[in-house]
Copies of this chain bind each other. A is one copy, B any other.
Amino acid sequence: MSVVPARRRRVRKAPTILDVAAEAGVSKSTVSNVVRGAEVADATRVRVLRAIDRLGYKPNAIARQFVQQRTTMLGVLVGDLSNPYYAQMAQVAERAAFRCGYTTMFCNIEGEENIAVAGVDSLLEHRVAGMVFLAYISRTRQLENALKQASVPIVFLGLSEQWGDSVGPQDTQGGRVATEHLLTLGHRRIAYVRTPLVEPSGDRARYAGYRAAMRKAGATAGSPMQWQPGTSTVRAGAARQDLRETLGSPAGPTALFVSNDIGAIAMIETCETLGFAVPGDVSIVGFDDIALAGLHRISLTTVAQPLDFQAERAVALLLERIADPGRPSRHESVPVELRVRNSTGPPAG
């Protein structure tokens, strides 16, 4: 009876570097060197590679990450994957990361803070090398703390942020050109419509652009109308208004600037359901230029922001910071561009 405790048996245990070493008749270090692409004499290398092939060895990334005390995983906190705005950025970010040898862990936060906090925790427990924050959630104290206490780099994508790195569109400029487009068409009563689907700071900047353009043209800027897609009432300040009445009244807006495309498309739907033609009775401008906006049937005039480019930059910034954590934080804002389509036209009458 052996005193040595039997090695726990497993079904079809995956071969390790030691199995390969034995098979090839070299030390584990040599196998490690081959796998990592370090200098090894050619003859030895092929011997090892053959052994790897015979055994079907796959390096254990978990063990590697464990010993190296760092991972090649990025975490992505994404607001809502079924929203094409996020989906597209998420996709590009994943591709960019993969190209650089990083895998990507996603966490859908669905606009809920507690999920977001749990997601951050989970990502940190998995020791991701960095995080991409790609969400519109209005960050409360708890989430803010969770993010700030995280000892890993964070890049904010689609918005600019005081701390960490960030990549976002030129929101103010975008708000301005959208509004100027409507003014040029002859509109004077233009409303700014805010939906919950946009990040608060970006929203404020877009509104600021709108205000600036209105003021410059001598038109009166209204306060933002809050709108929840799917409903037909809006809130302006404390007052609730019925959308049908608002648009139907003689003093009502002839054009709407909705702060994001998903909201703008939903607004087109709602307006038409209420019997207002777009752009005949009301012109609508969006923001983002998601793929959907370009469909003929939709044809939304919008402010295009280069989603792919931003996602690429975000990953690039993140990797730079991972490589050099001491680097001062960077904030990139990328130019936007008006895309005129068929949801806007001159005001009626």
Q: Tell me the residues in window 53-81 of chain A with beta carbons closer than 8 Å to chain B beta carbons.
A: 56, 58-63, 65-66, 69, 71, 73, 80-81
* CB-nearest residue of chain B to A10: B69
Determine if B91 and A108 form an interchain contact, defined as CB atoms under 8 angstroms apart. yes
Q: Which of the candidate stretches A130-138, A250-258, A289-297, A328-336 sits at the interface with the other chain?
A: A289-297
**A148–B62 alpha-carbon span in the complex (Å):** 22
**A142–B166 alpha-carbon span in the complex (Å):** 40
Residues of chain B within 8 A (CB-CB) of A298 are: 295, 297-298
A30 interface residue, CB < 8 Å from B?
Answer: no
**Quick one: which of B12, B81, B94, B104 contacts A91, CB cutoff 8 A?**
B81
**A119–B102 alpha-carbon span in the complex (Å):** 11
Residues of chain B within 8 A (CB-CB) of A73 are: 105, 126
A269 interface residue, CB < 8 Å from B?
Answer: yes
Determine if A87 and B82 form an interchain contact, defined as CB atoms under 8 angstroms apart. yes
**Binary per-residue interface labels of chain A (281-302) against chain B in the complex, 1 for a CB within 8 Å, 0 otherwise:** 0000000000110011110000
Determine if A71 and B62 form an interchain contact, defined as CB atoms under 8 angstroms apart. yes
A12, A71, A108 — which one has the most chain B CB atoms within 10 A of its CB? A108
**A105–B71 alpha-carbon span in the complex (Å):** 14
A337 interface residue, CB < 8 Å from B?
Answer: no
Copies in the complex: 2
A186 interface residue, CB < 8 Å from B?
Answer: no
A161 interface residue, CB < 8 Å from B?
Answer: no
Determine if A104 and B106 form an interchain contact, defined as CB atoms under 8 angstroms apart. yes
Q: Shortest Cβ distance from A342 into chain B, in angstroms?
A: 11
Q: Shortest Cβ distance from A128 into chain B, in angstroms?
A: 10
Determine if A12 and B151 form an interchain contact, defined as CB atoms under 8 angstroms apart. yes
Determine if B291 and A127 form an interchain contact, defined as CB atoms under 8 angstroms apart. no
A98 interface residue, CB < 8 Å from B?
Answer: yes
A273 interface residue, CB < 8 Å from B?
Answer: yes
**A56–B148 alpha-carbon span in the complex (Å):** 13
Determine if B66 and A94 form an interchain contact, defined as CB atoms under 8 angstroms apart. no
- 17 A-B contacts (beta carbon < 8 Å): A56-B149, A58-B124, A61-B122, A61-B126, A81-B87, A87-B87, A90-B106, A95-B110, A98-B107, A98-B119, A98-B122, A104-B106, A105-B105, A265-B297, A269-B297, A272-B296, A297-B297
